[in-house]
Amino acid sequence: FTSEPSYLTRFLFKTHGDKFKLALSNVIVNMDYEPVPAETGFTDDASLQFQLSILSVELNHKQWSFTGEYARRKIHFKNMFVNYVPPFLAKTVGESYYLQLSYHINYKWKIVTRYDVLYQNIDDKDGSEYAKDFSALGITKPDYSRFAKDLTLGIQWSLNSSWMLQVELHSIDGTGWLP
């Protein structure tokens, strides 16, 4: 692999006292692969392009905290490991987001509720096309591995600035976060 220039940028705006925060982050990674046919068996040049953009917001007011984040991922494989990356996965756009609301009962106790969503491919949010495309290759892949939706309710107790105990209850649909 040879690395092309890659970029990481982040813009952050926050008010005095951190009552409001807004951030935009972006990562662009470009890599080229020039095989040595005698060593690898591959003869075609290949490339990988990856872009991740994240918008984050946080609002704090008295005992309440609201946090949200939206992320969009673009992945493009070109001639990359043809035996391992099927053509229908060569170019995908995924997204994820979460919304979280916290209430600080006092300086030791906090209640949290959160909703997370992940789609590995925004054009196939339920994973049905993914499962169908692999099935056509004679491979069984579950549709639920391409998305995840998670509703969380938790409570946190801070013993001191170094130790904290948190208990969470999750209701999860899909396994998109698991490898």
pLDDT at 87: 73
pLDDT one-digit tens code per residue, 104-158:
999 999 999 999 999 999 999 999 999 998 888 888 999 999 999 999 999 999 9
pLDDT at 48: 81
pLDDT at 116: 97
Q: Contact 23/12 with Cβ under 8 angstroms?
A: yes
Q: Please count the residues of the chain.
A: 179
pLDDT at 84: 60
Asked if pLDDT for residue 12 goes beyond 60, the answer is: yes
Report residue 51: phi and psi, to 5°: -135, 135
Radius of gyration of the chain (CA): 21
